[in-house]
Amino acid sequence: MAIYLDSAATTCPSETCIQSMTEAMRGHFGNPSSLHSVGLDAQLVMDRARKQIAASLGCESAEILFTSGATESNHLAIRGAAMKYGKRLRRVITTTVEHASVRGAFDMLEEQGFEVIRIAPGPDGSYTADQVMESVNENTCLISMMMVNNETGAILPVQEIFTRVKRDYPQVITHCDAVQGYMKLPVQPEKMHADLLTVSGHKVHACKGIGALYHKKGVRLASLMKGGEQEQGIRPGTESVPLIAGFGAAVEELRKTIPSRGEYISALRSECIRALSALDGIAIQSPEEGSPYILSFSVKGLRSETMLHFLAEKGVSVSSGSACSKGKQSGVLQQFGIKQDLADSTLRVSFCMDNTAEDMHALAAYLEEAQAKLVHKR
Ligand code: PMP
């Protein structure tokens, strides 16, 4: 029996999404920029999806730009804002625990001569506003901070930090990569004081290759590509109407159930922790008050890769960290204070509504088997 415990890497598109995409492909194939009725028809499908995404973030449709996914949204936000606001203000700030796409965008800014400050978590693995404020100054144009860490589920106090940043240094543009929080926790960019906020479709039961960037009215962004007038000219290129329609429909369905899903998934994670804790040599790495959707733990004496393959043979899909690094360590676990040998033995399981308590017990049983078969053979 296949058990999928890797929803932080990607989720299965919902029926609602698939139906919406199929309808868009069959019935609304026009180019949304065309001026005839076939184009207008596609434009209307896209307008509806934009409203659905805007409603999920409590913002206006005009504040939503569709992109190819979170990687692009992060680059557009970070590099696009730095290009507009960083001519004189040369300091940009981020954390050491961001997704590779955010780290990559800041590396590119550094190559362009920006002063990049990368803030590490405190000794207990958390961030505080006081700690972040030490790095913000009048020369700062941008801060980017993720909402939920994709490897551990740690929740960063973005709202508290951005509120302080905006109060003391209103010139700073604030960006949040909210990919792992979206549709799981309430995400309201305005309340968070985020000028820019990234979300991705395939983490929320829509399709791969679609994402959005919230950009607050009045906040300017340079485009990364020059082309047509699509997406306010900021993100040129003919929009993928089917992907957008599916994204809107998936989100519309999910947004009504954030609290009830949260309760179910929290109980599931507790069950998982209970089942794992009955084994020897398990160290839970996720913070207790982290996102219920992600659980990171180490199995002492077994390497992540070995366990991953053992579990895969049993039909259990888990991850050794972020799927984007293809098994290679990103260094983020170490940033959270996890020692190298435990980081080498870490697995990430992440949940969706298809998972059951039985899955948690099966995982624990397979790990026990792996310990019995593999630990002494090292
Ligand atoms: N940010 C975070 C926090 C993520 O978890 C991911 C996906 N692993 C991304 C960005 C990149 O998302 P996408 O695959 O849509 O480019």
The 10s digit of each residue's pLDDT in 186-220 is 999 999 999 999 999 999 999 999 999 999 999 99
15-255 topology per CATH: Aspartate Aminotransferase; domain 2 (3.40.640)
Is residue 100 helix, strand or coil? helix
Please identify, by atom number, the ligand 1 atom nearest to the C-alpha of residue 211.
15
Determine whether the shortest distance from the Cβ of 7 to ligand 1 is under 6 A: no
CB of residue 11 inside a 6 A radius of ligand 1: no
Q: CATH 3.90.1150.10: which residues of the chain?
A: 257-373
pLDDT band, residue 165 (cuts 50/70/90): very high
CA 369 / ligand 1 centre spacing (Å): 33
Average of per-residue pLDDT across 356-378 = 90
pLDDT number for residue 206: 98
How many angstroms separate the alpha carbon of residue 281 from the centre of ligand 1? 31
Q: Which CATH architecture has domain 257-373?
A: Alpha-Beta Complex (3.90)
Please say whether the beta carbons of 23 and 13 come within 8 A: no
Q: How confident is the model at residue 374 (pLDDT cuts 50, 70, 90)?
A: confident
Which residue, 179, 355, 160, 376, is CA-closest to 281?
A: 376
Q: In which band, very low, low, confident or very high, does the pLDDT at 184 lie, cut at 50, 70 and 90?
A: very high
- Listed range (30-44, 67-81, 245-259, 335-349) with the worst mean pLDDT: 335-349
How wide is the angle at C-alpha 198 spanned by C-alphas 195 and 199, nearest 5°? 140
Helical pair 357-374 and 258-277, crossing angle rounded to 10 deg: 30
Tokens of 309: 């393959």
3-state secondary structure of 176: strand
* Amino acid identity at 28: H
The whole-number average pLDDT for the span 243-252 is 98
Residue whose CA lies nearest to ligand 1 atom number 9: 70
Please give the positions annotated as active site.
Answer: 324
Token output for 80: 């696009």
Q: Which of 150, 151, 184, 294 to mutate to test the pocket of ligand 1 (most atoms within 8 A of CB)?
A: 150
Q: Whose CA is nearest to atom 12 of ligand 1?
A: 70
Eight-class DSSP state of 346 = E
Residue 121 CB less than 6 A away from ligand 1: no
Q: What pLDDT does 378 receive?
A: 45
Ligand 1 atom at shortest distance from the alpha carbon of 9: 8
pTM of the predicted protein model = 0.97
Residues 6+ apart with CB under 8 A from 34: 40, 42
Q: How far is the CA of 8 from the centre of ligand 1 (A)?
A: 9
Our answer on whether the CB atom of 345 is closer than 6 Å to any ligand 1 atom is: no
Task: Report the half-sphere exposure of 225 (CA within 13 A, side-chain side).
Answer: 13
- Report CA(280)–ligand 1 centroid distance (Å): 33
Say if residue 229's pLDDT is above 80. Answer: yes
CA of 32 to the centre of ligand 1 (A): 27
Q: Is 69 helix (H, G, I), strand (E, B) or coil?
A: coil
Per-residue pLDDT, 329: 74
Residues of the chain with CATH 3.40.640.10: 15-255
Region 89-115: mean pLDDT is 98
